Amino acid sequence: MWPRIGQVPTYGILYFSGIIVHFVLSWRIAKRHGLRRRVWIVTSVCYFLSMTVGAKLLFDLRHPPFDLAALLQLEHYRAGGLWGGLLAYFALAGPAVLLLSRRRLTALDLVAQAVPLPWIAAKLGCFFNGCCHGRPCTLAWAITFPEGARGAPAGVPIHPTQLYEVGLMLIVLLVFMQLKSDRWRGTKLLWFLVIYGVGRAATDVFRGDTEGHLYLGLISLTQLLCISAAVAALVALVIWLPRRDRRGQE
């Protein structure tokens, strides 16, 4: 792997490249659908804050002792440790666009559509860094990390869980490509939560960095949150879509 490009961590380059990509995608999607500039700007600012301060805050809360003052120190971020960036993003961006835009369904679609490519960049950063690594395995596609990888055991064949998430985002993109008709307007965020929630809960089975964070020795907090979000989104789809279809026929 390539943990560094020169003196700069590869993870940092890809992670912040994803944030830039999110700004560009949000702008283009908003322009294509006629959303106001403030909608895509706030959406991208929410992504930036969530993937930096939000993800660091949630990580620190999970790994006490918690020091609020440390969030103001650059060195604290350089030390690594981010968790829950997407959770913070949806919690911030969803309500924000509902308040800012009259075209709420289209704005919610924007929140979801702008995520897959930036998240792929972030997961590739994890891959090159060695964090978010998988459990040991003997499968043909197992990967090994050299000495110096962050977290991953050196020389041990393990699941490429970071690439599993990249594949999951490609599935999300393929599904989004099929949701072009007006019937599906406003549902992309729900579809994202269903697909990613189920997929991430499944890929976490193969994660090798979750020991010590399991409830009753069975399920991680990430899996619990993802399954809950997927179930809630699926229920919303099942209830809301037929009702909207009936209103459209009246």
Residue 63: how many other CB atoms lie within 10 Å:
11
Q: Which residue has the tokens 């007006």?
A: 182
pLDDT confidence of residue 215: 64
d(CA 142, CA 157): 5
d(CA 28, CA 230): 28
Q: Are 56 and 77 in contact (CB under 8 A)?
A: yes
Structure tokens at 26: 């949000």
For 132, half-sphere exposure in the C-beta direction (CA atoms, 13 angstrom radius) is 25
Q: Kindly state the percentage of the chain with pLDDT values over 70.
A: 91
Q: Find the mean pLDDT for residues 17-35.
A: 97
On the question of pLDDT at 147 being above 80, the answer is yes
User: How far, in Å, are 57, 58, 77 from residue 68 at the CA level?
Assistant: 8, 11, 13
Q: Find the mean pLDDT for residues 141-158.
A: 88
pLDDT confidence of residue 248: 57
pLDDT confidence of residue 5: 64
187-219 per-position pLDDT tens digit:
999 999 999 999 999 999 999 887 556 665 678
More confident residue, 250 or 81: 81
pLDDT confidence of residue 249: 43
Instruction: Compute the residue count for the chain.
Output: 250
Residue 162: how many other CB atoms lie within 10 Å:
24
Please state the pTM of the whole predicted model.
Answer: 0.92
Ranges 23-37, 118-132, 233-247: which has the least confidence: 233-247
**pLDDT confidence band for 250 (50 / 70 / 90):** very low
64-76 per-position pLDDT tens digit:
888 889 998 988 8
pLDDT confidence of residue 3: 63
Mean residue pLDDT across the chain = 90
Domain coordinates in residue numbering, the chain: 4-178
3-state secondary structure of 143: strand
Bridge partners (DSSP) of residue 164 are: none
pLDDT confidence of residue 78: 81
